Structure formats: C-alpha cells, structure tokens
Amino acid sequence: MTRAAPEPRKTLDPDRVAEWLARHPDFFVGREGLLQQLKVPHPEAQGTTSLLERLVYDLRRRAEQAEWRLEQLLESARHNEAQFRRTRELVLALLEAEDADTLGQTLATQMAERFQIPAVALWCPAELTDHEPLPPQAPRQVLDDHAGVRLAALLDGRASRCTRLTQTDWSRLLPHAKAPRQAGSCALARLTLGEPMGYLVMASPDPDHFRASMDTLFTEYLGDVLARLLMRLSPSPHG
C-alpha cells in the first residue's frame, strides 16, 4: 500500500495579511505577548530586532528628519532676512545719490561691501549723457553700438540673465575693472522705463559666482530701481 504524497505547504500572501491587519487594528489586543515575540529586519545591520526597538528607531529617525527640515527652514529664513536688510540698505544708499556718477559709484561700493560683487558697470545711451557737463565716470559707461550688440547677444532676448564672461567680454564691458586671468561670470539686466535706458552688468572673477540656473529676480529689481533713478538724475530733457 503506497502512502499518499504530502500536500504542498500553503503560505499566506503577505499583501493579504497586511490588508487583513489594516482592517483589524485590534487584533493584538490581548495578544501583547505575540507583539514581544515578533522580530523584524534590523534597519542598519544583518539580523533582526524586536518590533519595539524597530518602532523606537523609526520614531527617532523621523524626529531627526523633522529637526533637519526645521533647521533648513530657519536657515532659509535667516538668509532671506539678511538679503532683505542688505537690499534695503543698498536702495536707501542709492536714493541719496545727487547725480548719476554718484549713483554709479555708490552702486559699486554697495555691491562690493554688501554682496561681494567686485565689478559693476552701468551702460547708458549717449542721449542720457549728452547734456552732462563732464564725461561719465566709472562705473558708468556710454553705450555704443559695439557694446550694445554684445550685451544684447549675452542677454539672448531676455530681460536679465546670469552667464559666463570671457576675458574679452570682461575687458570690453567692464573696462574700468581689472580682468581676471580666466573667464568670470556675470549677471546682466536690461534697463528700461518706457524706453531703453541701458544695461546693468554685475561681474565676478569666479566663473561659478553667477550660474545660469540662478534666479534673476534681484537683478531685475535692481535694474528697475536704477532705471528710475537714472531718469530722475539725468539733466537731459527727460528729467
């Protein structure tokens, strides 16, 4: 007489078990001993650990992540507050300028001291300087066709942009500032107030200081402020 082959061992579907436990959260009520016997994989080492220890570990990790996110938010808030204070002090200093040359020189000083930007240039069309008794003083420059074409090409149809700046472009667009030994970087903005008012150039010898991925909201805001101040300070018929 032959013995019947043993039936294959049946196993539970883990997903169905998980679904059943989710529908029956009171399953472990009165079965606390079972909870103490349960073992789960250790999150950082081979082997297993108790369910209680794993829960404590997970809670500690969540607390650490929440603390890290909070510190990131606080750091961002501190940075934004410092940026606001620097911008406020910059604008207040620009408002005190009595003429266009002083405006440009104040801009250069403020950007170097408060924003670590060592070189700036304000390129203004000739009609804004024709009525001035003396030629513009650096960092103001008279916008000619060559500079205008190059600045427009660097902006590539945008109102503002961050990009690399070759030695050749640096020497042409910031003639009053010493050119770096290698390519630098710059933030550009078109100055407009109903009509073209020129260009703002802020440059650094560090090729990564101004990156193409950077936001240009501050650059555009500063350009809007400068355009209005240049119009107000210009002795031309526009004023």
Contact between 75 and 205 (Cβ < 8 Å): no
pLDDT in tens, 109-157: 999 999 999 999 999 998 877 778 788 999 999 999 999 999 999 999 9
User: Under DSSP, is residue 234 helix (H, G, I), strand (E, B) or coil?
Assistant: coil
The CATH homologous superfamily for domain 99-233 is: GAF domain (3.30.450.40)
Domain boundaries, the chain: 45-95, 99-233
Whole-model pTM? 0.72
Backbone angles phi, psi at 109, to 5 degrees: -65, -45
Query: Rounded CA gap, 28 and 24, in Å?
Result: 9
pLDDT in tens, 146-200: 999 999 999 999 999 999 999 999 999 999 999 888 889 999 999 998 888 999 9
Is the bond into 139 cis (omega within 30 degrees of 0)? yes
